[in-house]
């Protein structure tokens, strides 16, 4: 079954990304979605794709996914512009094209229908898998069934979607009194499962926004039967809320809350929509800065970064995925995380690379237990193995591993029992020892550890003079490590939330 639409049905999206992750996301949308018109701005990536929305939703480097509603240049208001003037200019810019808004809502409704069909198909697959297990056909047959079920998932999704449309069309022909299009209020069922979590402090005050008072009863809601067309009455029944972020010169004229009120009032006048903070059908995110105006509609309730296959979170999943992608894992590779913690890096890598094997090592029993629970929850089976050992004495042969990926613990979140700065030479030497020639080392370090590592490798590459002893930099434990064969390829600063980290990539020569 084709996983793409025709080029004429291409959809314009944007995703948010953590600082430093934008380049990973650009590469991913091009590689996985054949995306076009890709634009990278700080914290966001805009792109067009004809891929089905379920494939778009599977992006790993993105934080959140939005349907792009409007992209525009900044207002560029003169200094000392009055709030009233700023409000007028803003409304004139954003609400000049009514069809742009109604068209976006139709597209959003269609995508929500596809997502609903996907969820039902996934549920059907899971039910069949459980039934197969209960019938006791054995592990081998169960495994074959699961593989075939997954291959059939997309066919089931499309068949279910088309079946619903056919049934809906038949009901329309049989019952003239029924509406021939979807009431957009049907989407509230999706809102209960897909509506995004947002900052209430920036939402519209419904008591301060003018709009039509819609009191008509709504029909029974069923997103699965949504149509691609909507009539005028349905467009007037849309409920919404706005979340706004405003920076730059405009923020000196209007606060984010005031801009939300301006946008809400404009939508109510233009389309007759009604503001609803508690259970809106649509959520509109607005970001206005000195560089751009960006409006979008969230497509999922939970962030894409919240993985459904991870039970206990450790390192942020997007960062773990990025580190695994830098390792350039190939079929048949053996990959080791010598300080695996709860196993986030291993799980992200194993989800992406089905034909490689993975080993997680940790000295802490509690961490290994959580890693094992995560492995079981992700249904990775024998593809991921766990071992209790010290990262300074890995029980692995020299030159036996194709890639080492490691997040060295740091920060207040991690209560390590060792001095990472002092032990870094030993840890690094063990990683280097087990790597085969041409193997890749990817490590995530704090800025302080990154600086120490650079000093260490610089000393190892330069070597001591005839009257000098090779001693580690201050704060490091002396060790009998040999001349480094690790060649630096890249370093990248990424945001870990309250602090930053640096990803380093080395290749063993």
- 309 in any annotated domain: no
Cα 115 to Cα 297: distance, rounded to the nearest angstrom: 15
Identify whether the C-beta of residue 261 lies closer than 8 Å to the C-beta of residue 303: no
Tens digit of pLDDT per residue, the chain (509 long)? 556 665 568 999 999 999 999 999 999 999 999 999 999 999 999 999 999 999 999 999 999 999 999 999 998 888 888 999 999 999 999 998 999 999 999 999 999 999 988 888 777 766 665 566 556 555 555 555 555 555 555 555 545 555 554 555 444 444 434 443 334 444 344 344 444 443 433 443 434 444 444 433 333 333 333 333 455 556 667 899 999 999 988 888 899 999 999 999 999 999 889 999 889 988 999 999 999 999 999 999 999 999 999 999 999 999 999 999 999 999 999 999 999 999 999 999 999 999 999 999 999 999 999 999 999 999 999 999 999 999 999 999 999 999 999 999 875 554 555 678 888 999 999 999 999 999 999 999 999 999 988 888 877 655 544 444 444 444 444 444 554 789 999 999 999 988 999 999 999 99
> What pLDDT shows up at residue 25?
98
What's 306's DSSP letter? S
250 and 128 inside one domain: yes
Do 247 and 387 sit in the same domain of this protein?
A: no
13 occurs within a structural domain: no
> Of 245, 265, 298, which marks where a domain is finished?
298
Q: Which residues contact residue 400 at a Cβ distance below 8 angstroms, ignoring those fewer than 6 apart? A: 334, 434, 436
The answer on 239 and 92 residing in a single domain is yes
Beta bridge partners of 244: 286
In terms of domains, do 140 and 187 share one? yes
* Residue 407 CB contacts under 8 Å (≥ 6 apart), including other chains: 314, 315, 319, 320, 323, 337, 339, 341, 345, 443, 444
Distance of CA 41 to the CA centre of its chain: 16
Same structural domain, 339 and 197: no
Going by C-alpha positions, the residue among 360, 381, 382 that lies closest to residue 371 is 360
Identify whether residues 387 and 466 lie together within a single domain.
yes
User: Beta strand pairing status for 293-298 and 64-72?
Assistant: antiparallel
Counting the structural domains of the chain, the total is 2
The predicted pLDDT at position 127 comes to 64
| Strand extents, DSSP E, 121-199 | none
Structural domain boundaries, residue 171: 63-298
d(CA 192, CA 280): 10
- Cβ(325)–Cβ(287) under 8 Å? no
Q: Are strands 11-16 and 239-246 parallel, antiparallel or unpaired?
A: unpaired
Which residue among 266, 298, 330 closes a domain? 298
Q: 280 and 398: one domain?
A: no
CATH number at residue 459: 3.40.50.150
Q: How far apart are CA 216 and CA 440, in angstroms?
A: 63
Q: Are 287 and 381 in a shared domain? A: no
Instruction: Tell me whether residue 26 is in a domain.
Output: no
In a domain, 1, yes or no: no
Return d(Cα 360, Cα 365) in angstroms, integer. Answer: 12
Is there a single domain that holds both residue 88 and residue 222?
A: yes
Nearest alpha-carbon partner for 155 in 38, 3, 267: 3
Question: How far apart are the C-alpha atoms of 194 and 205, rounded to whole Å?
Answer: 22
The answer to whether residue 303 sits within a structural domain is no
Q: Which of 270, 298, 326 is the last residue before a domain boundary?
A: 298
Q: Looking at the structure, tell me whether residues 214 and 68 fall in a common domain.
A: yes
Within 8 A by CB and 6+ apart from 237, the residues are 183, 184, 185, 214, 216, 218, 274
User: Taking the model in full, what pTM does it have?
Assistant: 0.76
Q: Quick one: 292 and 373 in the same domain?
A: no
- Give the pLDDT of residue 348: 98
């Amino acid at each position: 079954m084709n996983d793409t639409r025709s080029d004429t049905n291409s959809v314009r999206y944007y995703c948010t990304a953590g600082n430093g992750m934008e380049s990973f996301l650009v590469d991913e949308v091009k590689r996985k979605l054949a995306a076009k018109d890709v634009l990278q701005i700080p914290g966001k990536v805009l792109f067009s794709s004809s891929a089905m929305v379920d494939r778009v939703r599977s992006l790993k480097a993105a934080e959140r996914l939005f349907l792009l509603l409007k992209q525009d240049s900044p207002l560029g208001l003169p200094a000392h512009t009055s709030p009233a003037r700023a409000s007028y200019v803003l409304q004139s810019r954003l609400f000049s094209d009514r069809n742009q808004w109604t068209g976006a809502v139709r597209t959003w409704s269609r995508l929500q229908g596809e997502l609903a069909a996907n969820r039902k198909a996934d549920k059907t697959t899971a039910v069949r898998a459980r039934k197969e297990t209960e019938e006791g056909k054995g592990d081998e047959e169960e495994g074959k069934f699961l593989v075939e079920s997954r291959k059939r998932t997309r066919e089931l999704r499309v068949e279910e979607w088309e079946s619903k449309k056919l049934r809906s069309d038949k009901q329309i022909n049989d019952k003239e009194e029924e509406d021939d299009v979807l009431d957009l209020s049907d989407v509230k069922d999706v809102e209960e499962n897909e509506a995004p979590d947002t900052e209430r402090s920036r939402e519209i005050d419904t008591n301060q926004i003018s709009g039509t008072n819609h009191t008509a009863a709504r029909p029974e809601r069923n997103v699965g039967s949504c149509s691609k067309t909507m009539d005028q009455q349905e467009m007037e029944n849309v409920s919404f809320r706005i979340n706004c972020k405003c920076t730059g010169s405009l923020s000196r004229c209007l606060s984010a809350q005031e801009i939300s009120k301006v946008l809400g009032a404009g939508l109510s006048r233009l389309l007759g929509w009604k503001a609803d903070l508690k259970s809106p059908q649509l959520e509109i995110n607005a970001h206005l800065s000195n560089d751009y105006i960006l409006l979008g509609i969230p497509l999922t309730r939970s962030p894409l970064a919240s993985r459904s296959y991870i039970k206990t979170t450790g390192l942020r999943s997007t960062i773990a995925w990025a580190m695994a992608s830098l390792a350039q894992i190939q079929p048949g590779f053996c990959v080791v995380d010598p300080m695996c913690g709860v196993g986030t890096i291993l799980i992200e890598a194993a989800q992406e690379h089905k034909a490689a094997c993975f080993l997680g090592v940790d000295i802490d029993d509690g961490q290994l237990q959580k890693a094992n629970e995560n492995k079981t929850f992700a249904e990775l089976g024998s593809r991921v193995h766990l071992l209790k050992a010290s990262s300074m004495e890995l029980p692995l042969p020299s030159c036996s591993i194709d890639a080492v990926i490691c997040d060295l613990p740091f920060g207040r979140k991690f209560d390590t029992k060792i001095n990472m700065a002092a032990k870094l030479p030993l840890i690094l030497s063990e990683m280097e020892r087990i790597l085969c020639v041409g193997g890749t080392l990817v490590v995530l370090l704090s800025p302080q550890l990154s600086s120490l590592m650079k000093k260490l490798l610089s000393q190892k590459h330069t070597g001591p003079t005839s009257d000098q002893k090779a001693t580690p930099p201050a704060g490091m434990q002396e060790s009998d490590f040999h001349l480094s064969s690790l060649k630096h390829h890249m370093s990248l600063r990424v945001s870990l939330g309250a602090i930053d980290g640096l990803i380093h990539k080395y290749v063993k020569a």
